[in-house]
């Protein structure tokens, strides 16, 4: 079964063709980082226009790379991320997917972008040799699992009974963890996107230098809050009123210490919620996904938690951590088998 996937939820335009939900025949991703870097974050209108300008070419490249010369006869379905995301960006992808599905007379499969991040562990990555990556050997016995999605817009915990049956058990109450990384990078005057820059700088710092507070909310809460630690970093760097000085007054080592201490604290909050969820719900494994799952400290700490709890940990290959259409087409295979097909009246949903 061959499915074309389309992903336009934020600032990556992507199209992919996946066979039988796992074998990635093509995965073309066009990043908009250069368009948004000067603004220090994603500008929704610019992102939507960029999707509109490039999507047809990205789809054509994905089809050609996958060896699809006649989509109407070779493809089995068209899948698209229709929620959650920036509404203008979602509209571009969904409109295109509807057009392709109608023209080729194929089923249209709606995919939840956040849930697809967890499915990324099922995607075959022929270049990966890491034992933490799933390849073709992820067993069905991994369910039920605790899934954690970490990205610029989402920090969500799921009790995963199957990849087409997920129950959200925790979510961010304010900033998502990826947003906090971007804002801390801005405070430190590092640039955009902040996640990789913080991770890189933190390698040179002392992660115990600054005791940033951990916002764990209520004793049994599975929700997240990252606005407090972001504010603590702001006051530490810029003064108690947040404007007495700035990062230019810090030495390189002091900047590295801030980055390392923030990163450790953010990881601690994520790991604690994973630990709580694993204690409360039946689980046979831990699954993480999303752009922040590429962070070296967080990956290491999740693996350590899995060892401590005697649970296997599944982490996507690095190329599938960030937004991509392969995860959309992959999950769509499961949804199609379950009969979860949309009509051409499919709507976009910004938040779920």
Give residue 139's pLDDT: 58
Give residue 127's pLDDT: 58
The DSSP bridge partners found for residue 342 are 108
Give residue 68's pLDDT: 98
Mean pLDDT of 277-306: 96
Q: Rounded to an integer, what distance in angstroms lies between the CA atom of residue 173 and that of residue 65?
A: 41
Structure tokens given for 283: 């689980």
CA-to-CA separations, 29 to 58, 76, 145, 184, in angstroms, rounded: 8, 22, 29, 26
Percentage of the chain with pLDDT > 90? 85
> pTM value?
0.92
Is pLDDT at 138 greater than 60 in this prediction? no
Q: Structural domain boundaries of the chain?
A: 2-127+320-337, 140-315
Nearest alpha carbon to residue 49 among 91, 4, 101: 91
Q: Which fold has domain 140-315?
A: Nucleotidyltransferase; domain 5 (3.30.420)
For the sheet with 155-162, list strands across it. Answer: 165-171, 155-162, 145-150, 285-289, 313-314
Give residue 141's pLDDT: 75
Give residue 130's pLDDT: 43
Mean residue pLDDT of the chain comes to: 93
Is pLDDT at 128 greater than 80 in this prediction? no
Structure-token match 């006649």, residue found: 70
Q: Where is pLDDT greater, at 132 or 339? A: 339
Is pLDDT at 348 greater than 90 in this prediction? yes
- Interval 158-217: pLDDT, tens: 999 998 899 999 999 998 999 999 999 999 999 988 999 999 999 999 999 999 999 999
- Interval 234-245: pLDDT, tens: 999 999 876 789
Mean pLDDT of 264-272: 96
Q: Rounded to an integer, what distance in angstroms lies between the CA atom of residue 19 and that of residue 21?
A: 6
Is pLDDT at 136 greater than 80 in this prediction? no
Strands 12-19, 23-31: pairing kind = antiparallel
pLDDT band of residue 142 (cuts 50, 70, 90) is: confident
Asked if 2-127+320-337 and 140-315 have one fold, the answer is yes
Give residue 289's pLDDT: 95
Domain 2-127+320-337 class?
alpha beta
Give residue 131's pLDDT: 38
What sign has the CA pseudo-torsion 194, 306, 309, 261?
negative
Is pLDDT at 62 greater than 80 in this prediction? yes
Give residue 7's pLDDT: 97
Q: What's the burial of 230, exposed, middle or buried (CB within 10 Å: 0-12/13-18/19+)?
A: buried
Mean pLDDT of 319-324: 94
Give residue 152's pLDDT: 81
Mean pLDDT of 267-292: 96
């Amino acid at each position: 079964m061959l499915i074309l996937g389309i992903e336009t939820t934020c600032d990556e335009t992507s199209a992919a063709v996946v066979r039988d939900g796992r074998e990635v025949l093509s995965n073309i991703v066009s990043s908009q980082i250069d368009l948004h870097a000067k603004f220090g974050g994603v500008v929704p209108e610019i992102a939507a226009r960029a999707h509109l300008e490039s999507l047809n070419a990205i789809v054509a490249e994905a089809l050609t790379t996958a060896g699809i010369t006649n989509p109407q006869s070779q493809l089995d379905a068209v899948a698209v991320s229709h929620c959650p995301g920036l509404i203008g960006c979602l509209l571009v992808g969904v409109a295109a997917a509807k057009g392709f599905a109608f023209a080729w007379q194929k089923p249209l499969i709606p995919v939840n972008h956040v849930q697809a991040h967890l499915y990324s562990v099922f995607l075959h990555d022929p270049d990966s040799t890491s034992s933490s990556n799933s390849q073709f050997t992820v067993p069905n016995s991994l369910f039920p699992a605790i899934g954690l999605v970490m990205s610029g817009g989402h920090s969500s915990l799921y009790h995963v009974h199957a990849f087409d049956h997920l129950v959200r058990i925790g979510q961010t109450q304010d900033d998502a963890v990826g947003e906090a990384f971007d804002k801390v990078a801005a405070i430190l005057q590092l640039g955009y996107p902040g996640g990789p820059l913080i991770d890189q700088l933190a390698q040179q710092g002392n992660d115990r230098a600054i005791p940033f507070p951990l916002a764990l909310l209520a004793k049994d809460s599975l929700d997240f809050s990252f606005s407090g630690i972001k504010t603590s970093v702001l006051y530490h760097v810029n003064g108690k009123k947040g404007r007495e000085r700035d990062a230019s007054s810090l030495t390189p080592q002091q900047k590295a210490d801030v980055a390392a201490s923030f990163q450790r604290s953010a990881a601690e909050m994520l790991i604690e919620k994973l630990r709580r969820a694993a204690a409360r719900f039946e689980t046979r494994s831990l699954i993480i996904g999303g752009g922040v799952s590429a962070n070296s400290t967080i990956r290491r700490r999740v693996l350590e938690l899995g060892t401590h709890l005697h649970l296997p940990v599944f982490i996507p290959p690095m190329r599938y951590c960030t937004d991509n259409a392969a995860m959309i087409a992959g999950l769509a295979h499961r949804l199609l088998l379950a009969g979860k097909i949309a009509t051409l009246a499919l709507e976009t949903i910004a938040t779920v």
